[in-house]
C-alpha cells in the first residue's frame, strides 16, 4: 500500500460548487460543511490574505485602503487563478478541520459551456490546493442528481440551475445531457 493510499483512508471525498456568489463544499458522510461567499480580502502591500469567505464579506467597506476584497469568480468561471487557488485551499482545509495532511478526491461543478482552457484552470486550481484527484461535472447534471430526478430513465428531464453568475439549462436522459445551454446572466444580474 502506497503512502498516498494510506493518506486517502483519512480523507473524505469532497464535492465543490465553486460559485460566482458562494462556494459550497459537501463532504461525503457529513453533508454541506462549507457555504460561504466567494470573496477573498487581500493586503495589497504584502500580498497576504487577510480573510476568506464570510469573514472577508464582513470586512467589505470597513477596511483601510491597502486591503481589497476580490471576487475571484466571474460568470461561473475563474477570473483570478491565484486567488481562486488560495480560496479553494482555505475551504478544503476548513472542510477537513484544518488538517494539512489531507489530500481529498474532489468533484467540482462547472457550467455546461465553459471552454477547455476554463476547465483546465478549475482543475489546476484544485490540484494546487492539494487535491489528490479532480473530476469535473456539469452543474446541470449535479443539480439534477441533487434534486433526485430520474436521470437514468429514457425520458427527458429538464433542469434550470440559476446561480450567481450563470444560468444552466439542460435536458437530461439516460444519464447524459441531451442538450444544454449556459447563459452568463443569473442571480447577480436580477
* Region for residue 24 given its phi and psi (left: phi exceeds 0; alpha: psi -120 to 50; beta: otherwise): beta
Q: Does residue 188 lie within any of the structural domains?
A: no
Q: Could you read off the pLDDT of 101-146 as tens digits, one per residue?
A: 778 899 999 888 888 998 998 899 889 888 899 999 998 999 999 8
Report pLDDT for 3. Answer: 44
Mean pLDDT over the full length of the chain: 86
Q: Does residue 130 lie within any of the structural domains?
A: yes
Q: Count of domains in the chain?
A: 1
In 3-state terms, the chain is what percent helix, strand and coil (to 5)? 25, 35, 35
Looking up residue 7, the CATH number of its domain turns out to be 3.30.420.40
Q: Provide the residue range defining the domain that includes 56.
A: 3-138
Q: Could you read off the pLDDT of 66-77 as tens digits, one per residue?
A: 899 999 988 778
The pTM of the full predicted model, rounded to 2 decimals, is 0.83
CB 160 within 8 A of CB 144: no
Amino acid at each position: 500500500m502506497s503512502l498516498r493510499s494510506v493518506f486517502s483512508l483519512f480523507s473524505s471525498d469532497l464535492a465543490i460548487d465553486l460559485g460566482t456568489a458562494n462556494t459550497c463544499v459537501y463532504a461525503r458522510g457529513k453533508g454541506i460543511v462549507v457555504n460561504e461567499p466567494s470573496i477573498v480580502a487581500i493586503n495589497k502591500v504584502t500580498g497576504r490574505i487577510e480573510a476568506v469567505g464570510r469573514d472577508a464579506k464582513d470586512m467589505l467597506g470597513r477596511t483601510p485602503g491597502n486591503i481589497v476584497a476580490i471576487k475571484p469568480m466571474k460568470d461561473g468561471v475563474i477570473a483570478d487563478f491565484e486567488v481562486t487557488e488560495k480560496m479553494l485551499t482555505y475551504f478544503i482545509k476548513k472542510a477537513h478541520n484544518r488538517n494539512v495532511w489531507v489530500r481529498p478526491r474532489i468533484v467540482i461543478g462547472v457550467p455546461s459551456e465553459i471552454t477547455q482552457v476554463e476547465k483546465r484552470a478549475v482543475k489546476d486550481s484544485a490540484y494546487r490546493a492539494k487535491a489528490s484527484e479532480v473530476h469535473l461535472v456539469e452543474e446541470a447534471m449535479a443539480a439534477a442528481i441533487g434534486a433526485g430526478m430520474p436521470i437514468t430513465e429514457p425520458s427527458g428531464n429538464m433542469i434550470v440551475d440559476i446561480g450567481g453568475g450563470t444560468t444552466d439549462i439542460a435536458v437530461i436522459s439516460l444519464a447524459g445531457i441531451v442538450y444544454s445551454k449556459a447563459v452568463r446572466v443569473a442571480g447577480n444580474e436580477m
